[in-house]
Amino acid sequence: MIFSFDLLFEAVLFGVLLGCFYAAVSIGLSVSFGLLDVPHVAHPALMVLGSYCTFIVAGWGLDPIVAGVVLMPVFFVLGVLIYRFYYETFEKRGTEAGVRGLAFFFGLAFIIEVGLILVFGVDQRTVQAPYIGSSLALGEYRLPYRMLVAFGVALCLTVVLTLYLSKTFTGRAIKAVAQDEPALRLMGANPVRIKQWAFGIATGVSALAGAMLIIVGPVEPALDRLYIGRTFCVVVLAGLGSMTGTLGAGLILGISESIVLMMFGASWAPAVAFGLLLVVLGIRPQGLFGR
Amino acid sequence: MKASRRNALKAGAALAAATAASTTFPRFAIGQSGPIKIGMSMPQTGSLGAGGQAALLALRMWVEDVNKRGGLLKRQVELTAYDDQTNPANVPGIYTKLLDVDKVDLLIAPYGTVPTAPIMPMVKQRGLLLMGNFSFQVNAKVQHDMWFNNSPWNDASSWSDGFFKAGQSAGAKTVAVLAADNDFAQNLANGARTLAKQGGIQSVYDQNYPPTTTDFSSLIRGIRAAKPDMVFVMSYPNDSVAIIRAVNEIGVGPSVQIFGGGMVGLQFTPIMTSLGSLLNGVLNYNSYVPGMKYPGVEDFLQRYAVKAKDAKVDPLGFYLPPFNYAIGQIFEQAVAATKSIDQKAMAAWLRANEVKTIVGPIRWNKDGEWANARVVQAQFRGIADKDTEQFRQTGKQVVVYPDAYKTGSVITPFEKARSAK
């Protein structure tokens, strides 16, 4: 083991950047799974779809981040349609909806994966941007720009979603639907429409997360499988539905993983992350930032 | 609800029976005069999917060619390939289906060490001939005498020897080893560690990273802190791309003379094109690079390029496709010589004879690996961004090892090699 305080400081720096990236790819799931209780295992697949759409739009000369933002409304509509279909065919029909919904979203993930293979093949896809492949030098330290971009996007998403959920009527209704659906109905709001809207937001966010994914590294159609465990881990660790908690949990996961990778044994990194989840759930079943 | 479920079960059973009938009865009717069936699983998705699809295209080209020539033993050849998704857990099930349901006559292993390892005990137990497909040392412990690999290496030193020799010629005394946590990389890493020990090279960094690693910045920073003279990396395609990017961003430090060794993926055209100039200076293994002369390989690659464009797979196809086409040629010669598809007879003939292929003559040692390894260590030089066609030129990958194919000397240190033309 190599140890120095310089190295430890750098590990924490890399961890913050990595953690923000984890938060950026998990925040959409925090809305759909954390707030709406929808077992959305297709979230990473939609993110990978977002990456491929970013690849296409960036090919027209747009910056990948701008491409991700441009795609958000399209994905919002896609999310609304997906939720409507899920609601009509599964959720509306009773208490077994959760289990059957899980099958629906697994199916959706497979369809997206196979569709991407048919259209794009299995080769990896990357995008070009001035901030990909170079780094910011701060004395001895070098910070990859692509990770700094992930850092910025995660902060923006967290702030915007937190403000939206707490300051707007629809945002508060989304939070309310997670807590007490009949009460929301008594207030004159339609819970299905609110959930549809929220799922649209979660899917729209996954377009931007997809752009982050292809900026941070190359993507291939089956990449979603790598992120199912990790994104759910962040959301559960955070406490379901907490946006700032998602950022906090992402940071904890990223920093612990980075320190283990750099200073201890790299093989231990996944064990540390998921071990941390087990310990936290043992002490606080509602998650670190959950109520 | 219960009634509809029962109906669904009945319908499913009827469908299964109909499917079984449609696949079983024609086989009885055709009997021995039917096609010769060759079966395999191949990673067509997942991290080895890009290579697997290119390899499969080459095998299909051989099937087309051999059928044009009248097939094997005057019977047409049929290739059945299932996608194992680069998931070793899927492979034993696929081979059981190939043998017990599809009743294939001959088997080819999936591309890669990780997917191949799980079927070795089964083929040994059943006494089956298995053509290896770019796997590494999967037969070292199993010792199945009907295993024949198509890859140009044999033991661990045959793969890393060239890299270590290049490092030692540059005065390297320390090494950092970074390996993926899987069979292939661990076999190779063990070989590298042995070579380092034999050569008196001190290991200053040795890490196995998990396959779920997203960003390699921390690991590359750890390597830089260890100040090694050479960095030997054993990685799978997705990781290789992330590692090369991280090296470019973080830097490995001025002490490093050579970097690379066993990075899978840097031979695949889409990856080479997307990484472009970031590849410069990397010294890595390969199976074939332009300039190496084997009879028939250039003609094959020209025909392959046309088909690859339509199939949307690796357009150059230097790494796997010629060696997969060679698998077909090996079958063809063994069947012709033994005048049968008796697997024991074919295996006995292959153990005793040399075969001629588009990747040169092949003879196997007692482990079923090539008797004379031909792993190339080549250094990327003068690579530009976004240009696939440049890789067809000689000199873009300078062969520094083995001497028989050498086209130049390794440039050191790594930082200098990155800007060399």
Classify residue A181: in a domain, yes or no.
Answer: yes
Residue type, A232: F
On whether ipTM exceeds 0.85, the answer is no
Least confident interval from A199-208, A278-287, B101-110, B224-233:
A278-287
3-class SS string, chain B: CHHHHHHHHHHHHHHHHHHHHHHHHHHHHHHHHCCEEEEEEECCCCCCHHHHHHHHHHHHHHHHHHHHCCCECCECEEEEEEECCCCHHHHHHHHHHHHHCCCCCEEECCCCHHHHHHHHHHHHHHCCCEEECCCCCCHHHHCCCCEEECCCCCCHHHHHHHHHHHHHHCCCCEEEEEEECCHHHHHHHHHHHHHHHHCCCEEEEEEEECCCCCCCHHHHHHHHHHCCCEEEEEECHHHHHHHHHHHHHHCCCCCCCEEEEEECCCCCHHHHHHHHHHHCCCEEEECCCCCCCCCCHHHHHHHHHHHHHHHCCCCCCCCCHHHHHHHHHHHHHHHHHHCCCCHHHHHHHHHHCCEEECCEEECECCCCCECCCCCEEEEECCCCCCCCHHHHCCCCEEEEECHHHCCCCCCCCHHHHCCCC
Residues B47, A265: C-beta atoms closer than 8 Å: no
B57 versus B20: the higher-pLDDT residue is: B57
Classify residue B16: in a domain, yes or no.
Answer: no
Residues A218, B241: C-beta atoms closer than 8 Å: yes
B20 has a pLDDT exceeding 50: no
Structural domain including A159 reads 5-225
What is the predicted pLDDT for the residue at A226? 87
Backbone angles phi, psi at B243, to 5 degrees: -65, -45
Instruction: Give the minimum alpha-carbon distance from A218 to chain B in angstroms, rounded to a whole number.
Output: 7
Q: How confident is the model at residue B14 (pLDDT cuts 50, 70, 90)?
A: very low
Q: Which residue of B has its CA nearest to A146?
A: B249
Classify residue B12: in a domain, yes or no.
Answer: no
Given B362, B389, B405, the domain boundary residue is: B362
Number of residues assigned to chain A? 291
Contacts of A2 in chain B (CB under 8 A): 205, 222, 225-226
Distances (CA, A) of A250 to A23, A203, A238, A253, B215: 5, 19, 8, 5, 14
Domains in chain B, number = 2
Distances (CA, A) of A244 to A25, A162, A247, A248, A287: 14, 7, 5, 6, 12
Query: Is residue B273 domain-shared with residue B397, that is, in the same domain?
Result: yes
Query: Is residue B210 domain-shared with residue B100, that is, in the same domain?
Result: no
Query: Is residue B71 domain-shared with residue B133, that is, in the same domain?
Result: yes
Classify residue A260: in a domain, yes or no.
Answer: no
Q: What is the mean pLDDT of residues B286-304?
A: 92
Contacts of A121 in chain B (CB under 8 A): 50, 53, 312-313
Considering only the beta carbons, identify the residue of B209, B237, B248 that sits closest to A133: B248
Residues A267, B53: C-beta atoms closer than 8 Å: no
Residues B85, A121: C-beta atoms closer than 8 Å: no
Residue from B299, B203, B259 nearest B379 by CA:
B259
Query: Is residue B37 domain-shared with residue B83, that is, in the same domain?
Result: yes
pLDDT tens column, A227-270? 998 899 999 998 888 889 999 999 999 999 888 888 787 778 87
Residue to substitute from B44, B85, B217, B250, interface A, most A β-carbons within 10 A: B217
Tell me if A26 sits within 8 A of A231, measured CB to CB: yes
Number of residues assigned to chain B? 421
Tell me if B369 sits within 8 A of B153, measured CB to CB: yes
Residue from A34, A67, A17 nearest A210 by CA:
A67
What is the predicted pLDDT for the residue at A97? 62
Instruction: Give the minimum alpha-carbon distance from A123 to chain B in angstroms, rounded to a whole number.
Output: 5
DSSP A139: T
Classify residue B20: in a domain, yes or no.
Answer: no
Tell me if B324 sits within 8 A of B43, measured CB to CB: no
pLDDT tens column, A164-202? 999 999 999 998 887 887 888 888 788 899 999 999 999
Share of chain B above pLDDT 70, in %: 92
Classify residue A151: in a domain, yes or no.
Answer: yes
Query: Is residue B266 domain-shared with residue B302, that is, in the same domain?
Result: no
Distances (CA, A) of B411 to A141, B245, B280, B404, B421: 27, 21, 11, 19, 10
Contacts of A123 in chain B (CB under 8 A): 50, 268, 270, 312-314
Share of chain B above pLDDT 90, in %: 67
Q: How many CA atoms lie within 13 A of B20 on its CB side?
A: 9
pLDDT tens column, B175-222? 999 999 887 888 888 888 988 998 899 999 999 998 888 889 889 988
What is the predicted pLDDT for the residue at B22? 40
Query: Is residue B195 domain-shared with residue B140, that is, in the same domain?
Result: no
Classify residue B349: in a domain, yes or no.
Answer: yes
Residue to substitute from B44, B221, B309, interface A, most A β-carbons within 10 A: B221
Classify residue A287: in a domain, yes or no.
Answer: no
Peptide bond into B43 cis (omega under 30): no
Which strands sit side by side in the sheet containing B202-209, from one edge to the other? Answer: B202-209, B174-180, B230-235, B258-263, B283-286, B376-380, B397-401
What is the predicted pLDDT for the residue at B129? 97
Interchain CB contacts (distance < 8 Å): A and B: 133
Strand partners, B179: B208, B234
Residue from B210, B164, B162, B203 nearest B186 by CA:
B210
Classify residue B2: in a domain, yes or no.
Answer: no
Per-residue pLDDT tens digits of chain A, which is 291 residues long: 667 788 888 889 999 999 999 999 999 999 999 888 888 999 999 999 999 999 999 999 999 999 999 999 999 999 999 999 999 888 887 656 667 788 899 999 999 998 998 888 777 888 989 998 889 988 878 899 999 999 999 999 999 999 999 999 999 999 888 788 788 888 878 889 999 999 999 999 999 999 999 999 889 888 998 899 889 999 999 888 888 999 999 999 999 988 888 878 777 887 877 888 889 888 888 888 876
Quote the CA–CA distance of B350 and B366 in Å, as a whole number. 11
> What count of other Cβ atoms lies within 10 Å of the Cβ of residue B73?
14
Query: Is residue B74 domain-shared with residue B146, that is, in the same domain?
Result: yes
Classify residue B66: in a domain, yes or no.
Answer: yes
Query: Is residue B248 domain-shared with residue B164, that is, in the same domain?
Result: yes
Classify residue A89: in a domain, yes or no.
Answer: yes
Question: Rounded mean pLDDT of chain B?
Answer: 89
What pTM value is reported for the model?
Answer: 0.81
Considering only the beta carbons, identify the residue of A11, A220, A230 that sits closest to B218: A11
Domains in chain A, number = 1
Query: Is residue B199 domain-shared with residue B277, that is, in the same domain?
Result: yes
Instruction: Give the minimum alpha-carbon distance from B120 to chain A in angstroms, rounded to a whole number.
Output: 26
B30 has a pLDDT exceeding 60: no
Classify residue A289: in a domain, yes or no.
Answer: no
pLDDT tens column, B330-349? 999 999 999 999 999 999 99
Query: Is residue B182 domain-shared with residue B95, that is, in the same domain?
Result: no
Residues B245, A270: C-beta atoms closer than 8 Å: no
Tell me the torsion sign for CA atoms B318, B323, B326, B328: negative
Classify residue A35: in a domain, yes or no.
Answer: yes
Residues A266, B207: C-beta atoms closer than 8 Å: yes
3-state secondary structure of A184: helix
Spatial CB neighbours of B165, under 8 Å, sequence gap ≥ 6: B401
pLDDT tens column, B235-252? 988 899 999 999 999 999
Contacts of A267 in chain B (CB under 8 A): 181, 207-210
What is the predicted pLDDT for the residue at B323? 97
B229 has a pLDDT exceeding 50: yes
Q: Backbone dihedral region of A284: left (phi > 0), alpha (psi from -120 to 50 degrees) or beta?
A: beta
Peptide bond into A64 cis (omega under 30): no
Query: Is residue B252 domain-shared with residue B180, that is, in the same domain?
Result: yes
pLDDT tens column, B247-272? 999 999 999 999 999 998 899 888 89
Using alpha carbons only, how large is chain A's radius of gyration in Å?
19
What is the predicted pLDDT for the residue at B183? 76
Looking up residue B36, the CATH number of its domain turns out to be 3.40.50.2300
pLDDT tens column, B145-175? 999 999 999 887 888 889 999 999 999 999 9
Quote the CA–CA distance of B158 and B373 in Å, as a whole number. 6
| Burial letters B147-170, b for 16+ CB under 10 A, else e | bbbbbbbbbbbbbbbbbbbbbbeb
Classify residue A276: in a domain, yes or no.
Answer: no
Of A94-98, B2-6, B74-78, highest mean pLDDT = B74-78
Tell me if B109 sits within 8 A of B119, measured CB to CB: yes
Using alpha carbons only, how large is chain B's radius of gyration in Å?
23
Structural domain including B103 reads 30-152+296-362
pLDDT tens column, B366-394? 999 999 999 999 999 999 998 999 999 98
3-state secondary structure of A108: helix
Residues A147, B270: C-beta atoms closer than 8 Å: no
Classify residue B4: in a domain, yes or no.
Answer: no
Query: Is residue B191 domain-shared with residue B229, that is, in the same domain?
Result: yes
Q: How confident is the model at residue B3 (pLDDT cuts 50, 70, 90)?
A: very low
Classify residue B373: in a domain, yes or no.
Answer: no
